[in-house]
Structure 1
Amino acid sequence: MVNANEWLYEKIPVNQRAQATNLYIYRQCQSGHTVHQYNCNNCVNKTNCSTAPTFQFYGILLEGELDLNDFVNLQQLYIYGTGQNQDQQQKLTSLKIDKCNKLERIAINYNSTFIYNLFGENDSNFNRIKSQVDRLTSIIRNVKGVNLSDLKLAAKKIEEENLENQLVNTKNKLNEDNQLWLELLLETQQEVLQNDNAFARKQLEKVKKRLSKVLTAEEIQDFLGKKVEINELEIELNNLKIQESQND
């Protein structure tokens, strides 16, 4: 685990940050292994990063504050952990993006420490996400009267809101035919998640190939990833309900 700002200073020079439009930070390596799996070369003090405008880093665990205010043209930010265990989660406590006025998409997945000081007030997207953060903060402050199901349900609703917002924004850039393909992508992904079979996966690949003409691979994967997150939260909620009913 490394200090987030020290890591950033080492990996991306200040004079390159204004050129960046996409920043991806993954707990896993490209092969899907987590950092502690030393049999994977990507997990042993190695990262993969492309040059601006897209930077990608794998096998990274960050802690503390991450100041991205030099990334004035940043449009997409993804910071991913990989699971419920503490050693699989990011540990950021503060994310500074007040000057990232072009930021359209942000995803922070499996961060074990509540992130505060997130956003300024000068953008509707920031205000929307800040409102979501405020809702979670309210729940956390009243934790004595809240169970884990409440937190999971709030997180699920936020993920659904983010997906819907992203869907609307993306549809506005597409013609009617491609809008239907995008809806089909999400429907097919849901089918794969609920009834994993060869036919559904084959259909999903066809839809992804069709959409690749109008969306980047990162945009497509982001939609799929959000559906996975919502599905995982739904499963966790159902399991919690079963446990609660058994304890009654």
Structure 2
Amino acid sequence: MVKAQQWLDEMFPSLASKEKVKRLCIRLNEGTDKIEQTNYEFFNTKLEGELDLNEFKHLEDLAIWGNGIGTLHPITDLKINLCSKLKKLHIDCTNVSELNLRSNQETTSLTIDGCVNLLKIEGLEVLLNLQNLKLWNKNSRLEIPFGKDNWKQGLQELNRKKIHSIEEKVNKNEQILKELANMVLPNIAFDLGKLKQEIARLKLNELSPQARKKQSELEQQINDAKNKIESIPNTIIDLLLDTQKQIIGENNKNDSLVQAQLTGQLKAYQSILEKNLSKQELQALLDKKAELTQLKEQIDKLQTEIQQNE
């Protein structure tokens, strides 16, 4: 017997080898392994503990077999929440106690047989594409949100209730919006676009004076800092603050390479300026620049929203 994750990493050592798998079958009983392109079937494989298949992004068909209820497969935890393409799942005589299928909404076939210790299956109610469901009827402890025999009706009823609940929330939110619109734009027929525009305008009126104040404070801090610099060009401070602006800016937030380059530049400028300015003074400058940059981004978004709803 081997740890499930250790075995998995030995059989599929790279991410690419995991991502090409579409069908995976792990059996406890004797037999000859079968490997054909994207299909893998392993026999005489006894795994224990957690089996994490979340890197198998293209997995469509998964089966785990024990050897009767007297010889359960010792896998105790199965992680498949990132296997969004999984369509067929068959778990037979395996020692899992819980299954979470909330993210496996493409599943069309689910078979659970002989899992004597399985107590809970989460997410059955969201499997809208489910066409075939077989649950072992001898496990009276298993909790599911509907009856095993009339599961299609149960699933439809759960979805009907969910839709009804969503409709109620939509109606309630619409009423709240109408009341809010009447407060902001009295005597004007409800118009969501106009409401968003007016709220954005009110917020803009609040933030604009703040931005002007912070701009003035930053300019004063910059002048004070430049007056303390002797042998270093004043432009180093401008470069420092411009780099800080780029680091915070929306365009570069998701680019780790650019972020690393900009951070390196920032540290280099700080190192030069520390000959005449304290770390506290430099940090105060950077903090004020960050506050102003974020405030201006908010203002830009509000102005765009106002223009879009005109």
TM bin (shorter chain): 0.3 to 0.5
- Give the TM-score normalised by the residue count of structure 2: 0.35
- Give the TM-score normalised by the residue count of structure 1: 0.43
Of structures 1 and 2, the one with the larger relative CO (CA 8 A, separation 6+) is 1
Larger radius of gyration: 2
